Every structure is written in structure tokens, then in C-alpha cells.
Amino acid sequence: MDFRLDDGWQIRPIGGNTGMAYVGTKEQEKLFIKRNTSPFLAALSLEEITPRLVWTRHISTGDTLTAQEWLNGRCLTREEMKDRRVVELLTRVHRSNVLKKMLWQVGGRYVFPEDLLASYFRGLSSSLRQHPLLKNVANRLRSNQPKFDHRDYSVCHGDLNHKNWLLSDSNRLYLVDWESAALADPAMDLSVLMCQYVPRKDWKEWLTANFDKNLTDTFQQRIAWYCRLNLLLSVKNQCERGHFIEMNQDILKLADISKNQGGYDFTLFV
């Protein structure tokens, strides 16, 4: 789709999975433009979590375009996802009452543990449903859902892939692509960082370094619960996409963190 705005902006697609991202050019100016993104973007821009929002426009097709400053930079590497500044930016999001209020006002939804479990079982293939390890872990998760007051839920990104972190040439870090944002237990976001980017042997050190003052047993148990749940969801996703090598890698991760699990103990440091 080639949009042409009345004031001379020309907008062309720049690729990506959604087909919603564009580059806008006008003479020497350049902007990053998305189609029909969440109005939550305005709050994220004000909090300097995402690049600055320049304008929002409704066009004749009925679509809404949002334009952000174009920043030269790059995505984070997998190794850089362990850096403290990643946790610091994510913690800013989790602790922001402004973002929480704004997401709720624009129709943000709550995501509870039972919702995530339901999404795992929905359409699950019979082979995965009967897999001994996956079946055992799923049953334990269902019987031991974390108890955390929804009034303490925070804005969670929901898709913390390293490609969604932008490091500008001026060394400023941003978190982009907020289409999966929801109000949820912040342990959900943190568990993704741990499971996908921190080696199992470094979990204790990583948690202690970043959350020493808040590293209660309950907090650890919540992260452990979400770690297992995220791995289940990843196994299901990789299976559906036919990525069986990656699927088996996730199953091995799940086996590793579950092998010493006794009874209903969800400690991470076994």
C-alpha cells in the first residue's frame, strides 16, 4: 500500500511481520510510521519509552497513521538482553502508574494466569497434550497458579523479543512494538527475559543482581511459574510452525528446570 498525504509525505512499507510499518519521507525529513497502532503509543512517547511521537493522522481509507522520529540504531543482540539497562527500562514500565492508567483508559485488558493456561490448551495437538513431561508440568501449573492481587498488576509488554529493543546511535535504549501490551503480573515479562536470554546456570546471579531487595520466596515462585508457562507456550508455537529443533530445545529447557522439582515446589534455585 502506497499512501500519499496531501502535504507531500510519501509513505512506503519497510517490511516486517505485520505489514503495518512504513517509512515516511518528505524532502530531507524521514519518519517511522505505523498503521492503526494503539493510542497507548502517545503515553509511551511522553514517558520516553518509545521514540518521540510526531503526529497522528486519520486518512481517507479509514486508517490511522502514527509518525515517530526516525532514529538510526540497531536491535539488541541476544547477549545484550542480559544487560542491566534492559531490566531498568522494563522496571520503569512496570512501576509507572501513568502508563497503567493510560493503558486502562484506551481499553487495555488484564491477563491472568488462567488466561495463559487456557491459551496453551486451546487447539493443542494430541501429541503435545499426551507428552508426559508437558502434561505433568501443565497439570502442576494449573494446580499452583500464583496468587498476586490484580490491583498490583502492571503494564507488561508481552513480546520481549530482542528485536523489539532499539539502541539508538546516541546510545539511548527504547522498547518498541507494543501491540501485545496488557495489564499483568510483571513476573510474566521478567520470566521471558530469563527463559530466553539468561543461561540457566546464571539465573540466581541475574535475579540477585537486579532484584536483591525484592527477592522474596513468593516473587521467585511467581517467576518460576511463568518461566514454565512461557516454555509451554513456546513449545506449542514452535510445533505449530514446524520448527521442531527449536521445539525440542524448549522441551529440554523445561526438563532441566523441572527435573529436581519435588511435589509442588516451584523454587528456581535447585
Q: Give per-residue pLDDT as tens, 60-71.
A: 778 788 889 999
Range of the domain at 32: 3-70
Domain membership of residue 264 (yes or no) is no
Last residue of a domain, one of 70, 89, 122: 70
Give per-residue burial for 161-179: e unless 16+ CB within 10 Å, then b. Answer: ebebbbbeeeeebbbbbbe
Assigned domain for 98 exists: yes
On the 0-12 / 13-18 / 19+ scale of CB atoms within 10 A, 122 is: exposed
Pick the catalytic residue: 159, 185, 189, 250?
A: 159
Per the CB < 8 A criterion, the answer to whether 50 and 32 are in contact is no
**Strand 165-168 to 73-75 pairing:** antiparallel
Q: What is the SS3 assignment for 31?
A: strand
Q: Are 64 and 35 in contact (CB under 8 A)?
A: yes
CATH of the domain at 8: 3.30.200
Q: What is the pLDDT of residue 178?
A: 94
Q: Enumerate residue ranges in the chain where pLDDT < 70.
A: 1-7, 15-19, 260-270
| Residue partners of 19: CB distance under 8 A and separation at least 6 | 13
Same domain, 96 and 61: no
Sign of CA pseudo-dihedral 73, 78, 84, 89:
positive
* Domain final residue, candidates 46, 70, 94: 70
Q: Which pLDDT belongs to residue 239? A: 96
Whether 178 and 237 map to the same domain: the answer is yes
Question: CA nearest 270: which of 232, 235, 228, 229?
Answer: 228
List beta partners, residue 23: 12, 32
DSSP 76: P
Within 171-243, residue ranges assigned H as helices are 186-197, 203-211, 217-240
User: Hey, what amino acid is at 112?
Assistant: F
Task: Please count the structural domains in the chain.
Answer: 2
Q: Find out whether 268 and 220 touch, Cβ atoms under 8 Å.
A: yes
What does the alpha-carbon distance between residue 214 and residue 162 come to, in Å, rounded to a whole number? 25
Residue at grid coordinates 538510526: 72
Q: Name the helix (H) or strand (E) containing 56.
A: strand 53-58
Q: Give 241-261 pLDDT, tens digit per residue.
A: 999 999 999 999 999 888 754
CATH number of the domain where residue 168 is located: 3.90.1200.10
159 is catalytic: yes
Say how many residues make up the chain: 270
241 and 172 in a single domain? The answer is: yes
